[in-house]
Amino acid sequence: MNTLLIVDIQNDFIPGGALSVPEGDKIIPVINRIQEKFDLVVATQDWHPKNHKSFSSNHPGKKVFDKIILNGIEQILWPDHCVQESFGAEFNNNFSTGKVEAIFRKGMETEIDSYSAFYDNGHIKSTGLSPYLKGRNVDEFFITGLAGDFCVYYSIKDALNEGFKVSVIEDAVRSIDQNNFLIIKKELKERGVKFITSNQLV
């Protein structure tokens, strides 16, 4: 089963959004174009309650991008983003979702953040994505989306631990910090992750 995972193509991660990823909009036409090459397309959505503890606004005296320890785990404090049922949490209108068979939401527990499509950052709660993919006989998948240095990266690490093989479609990924992504790329390549461009898909 040729499978594509599309991470967080939501208004808040697109330029103009609350936590915008530089050039985040540029990957949408690529993602739209390649979906027809896949038998199974799955997407994720960051989906926070308004009182989520990853928001600096819920920590008086703290600023956006400050780091704190939240329930024993290092946490970057973000601007309010992807609040449930807000415009910012909606998929961007230019993103074609017709082929998306299932949507996995994450980040709903107020006390813990959840970057990965598979587990929260403390590995306490599963989203159900791993058993879903295994139930569809998927043992490898391609990944695209936002942000390369957070949700895409954490999703890949969890996927490797779950035994999946992963290929990153690099022209369909953008990061909050491109330098971070280059460091991540080196680490993931050493762990067997392939990096390709969309024109290499058959």
> Does the active-site annotation cover 8?
yes
Residue 80, interface with Zn ion (CB under 5 A)?
Answer: no
The single residue of 12, 53, 106, 157 carrying the catalytic annotation is 106
DSSP letter string over the chain? --EEEEE--BGGGSTTSTTPPTTGGGGHHHHHHHGGG-SEEEEEEE-B-TT-TTBGGGSTT--TT-EEEETTEEEEPBPS-SBTTSGGGSBPTTS--TTEEEEEEE---TTS---SSSB-TTS-SB-SHHHHHHHTT--EEEEEEE-IIIIIHHHHHHHHHTT-EEEEEEEEEE-SSHHHHHHHHHHHHHTT-EEE-GGG--
Interface of this chain with ligand VGL, residues 56 to 85, rule: CB under 6 A: 78
The single residue of 151, 157, 158, 185 carrying the catalytic annotation is 151
Give the residue, chosen from 8, 25, 46, 80, that forms a contact with Zn ion under the rule CB under 5 A: 46
Residue 12, interface with ligand VGL (CB under 6 A)?
Answer: no
Residue 120, interface with ligand VGL (CB under 6 A)?
Answer: no
User: Cβ closer to ligand VGL: 71 or 199?
Assistant: 71
Binding mask 164-193 for ligand VGL (x = CB under 6 A): ------------------------------
Count residues contacting Zn ion (CB under 5 A)?
A: 2
Residues that bind Zn ion (CB under 5 A): 46, 107
Would you tell me which residues interact with ligand VGL (CB under 6 A)? 8, 13, 46, 78, 115, 146-147, 150-151
